[in-house]
């Protein structure tokens, strides 16, 4: 079985960005909004800052406590939408349950929505891939991983496990447009095995540790694991039981080390693209 590691894909994307921006006078600026106290989120932000700063960009954070009113967060986003010193705005997810995630995301201006999760960008993406200002970073990461390892999509049967708005719903539309036959299974599918066992390519994004075993996949299938959770020992794991699946799969993206590193690179790409668009006359 071949492991589809994300590090070389990340390096390829970041090298391209470095070469493009090495002599630029522009300093791309990403503003992250963090609501509540989440250690995992703080770690993700630190990693994003490291990558963006190494490319010559800037990442700053505005923090809110769980007691702050949602209206305060919304008004802050609106102010950043018109701030010409800020190129991209990112709402660090998840936010506390008392907040309406959709409302906050949809307050972000389309041309600063570098995570590609606001309705304006998602709606355009559902209509046609090239109509969206920014693709969601994780969605683009999956596509970059597949392209790097030359995994064909045209005329292949792809099974998506999970129907979340952040990953698999956008992927569904893109994969069909690229010539794949796509089946989606989700939490309301009584038994996913009859579907997953026929997938040439299986992409899972549920956050349920160990959900996908060898019994779920077709012999020689390519498996992309976008899931993220922690096991009983606190270790990061994906949706796939890698020990079981590796005896049957043709290729597997590991967790950690697969889609994750590419996602951060794709976010950096979106931030730098937003800065370029923001620098254009009349932007």
- Return the exposure string of 123-158: e unless at least 16 CB atoms fall within 10 Å of the residue's CB, then b: ebbbeebeebbbbbbbbbbbbbbbebbebebeebbb
Query: Which among 69, 121, 95, 168 has a CA at the least distance from the CA of 274?
Result: 121
**Cis amide linkage into residue 200, ω under 30° from 0:** no
What backbone phi and psi angles, to 5 degrees, belong to 271? -65, -45
Annotated catalytic residue: which of 87, 111, 113, 115? 115
User: What is the Cα–Cα distance from 83 to 262, expressed in whole angstroms?
Assistant: 29
> From the candidates 10, 48, 87, 111, which is the catalytic residue?
48
Q: Among this protein's residues, is 115 annotated catalytic? A: yes
Kindly name the residue from 10, 87, 92, 133 that is annotated as catalytic: 92
The conformation of residue 10, written as its DSSP 8-state character, comes to H
Whether 92 is catalytic: yes
8 A C-beta contact, residue 136 and residue 207: no
HSE, side-chain direction, 13 A CA sphere, residue 124: 15
215 is catalytic: no
H-helix or E-strand spanning residue 132: none
Six token digits for residue 198? 């026929």
What do you get for the CA distance between the two ends of the chain, in Å? Answer: 48
Q: Which letter does DSSP use for residue 112 in this model?
A: G
3-state SS class at 231: coil
Q: How far apart are CA 184 and CA 169, in angstroms?
A: 9
Residues recognised as catalytic? 48, 92, 115
């Amino acid at each position: 079985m071949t492991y589809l590691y994300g590090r070389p894909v990340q390096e390829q994307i970041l090298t391209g960005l470095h070469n493009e921006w090495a002599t630029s006078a522009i300093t791309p600026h990403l503003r992250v909004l963090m609501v509540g106290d989440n250690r995992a989120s703080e770690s993700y932000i630190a990693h994003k800052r490291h990558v963006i700063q190494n490319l010559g960009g800037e990442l700053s954070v505005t923090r809110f406590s769980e007691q702050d009113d949602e209206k305060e967060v919304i008004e802050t986003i609106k102010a950043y939408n018109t701030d010409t010193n800020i190129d991209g705005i990112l709402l660090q997810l998840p936010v506390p349950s008392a907040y309406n995630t959709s409302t906050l995301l949809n307050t972000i201006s389309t041309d600063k929505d570098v995570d590609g999760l606001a309705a304006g960008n998602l709606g355009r993406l559902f209509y046609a891939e090239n109509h969206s200002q920014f693709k969601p970073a994780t969605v683009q990461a999956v596509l970059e991983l597949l392209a790097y390892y030359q995994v064909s999509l045209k005329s292949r049967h792809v099974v998506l496990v999970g129907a979340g708005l952040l990953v698999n719903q956008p992927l569904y539309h893109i994969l069909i447009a690229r010539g794949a036959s796509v089946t989606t299974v989700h939490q309301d599918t009584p038994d996913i095995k009859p579907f997953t066992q026929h997938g040439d390519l299986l992409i899972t994004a549920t956050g349920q540790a160990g959900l996908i075993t060898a019994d779920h996949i077709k012999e020689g299938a390519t498996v992309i694991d976008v899931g993220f959770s922690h096991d009983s020992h606190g270790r990061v794991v994906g949706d796939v039981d890698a020990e079981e699946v590796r005896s049957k799969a043709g290729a597997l993206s590991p967790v950690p080390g697969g889609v994750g590193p590419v996602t951060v690179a794709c976010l950096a790409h979106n931030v730098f693209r937003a800065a370029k668009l923001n620098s254009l006359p009349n932007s």
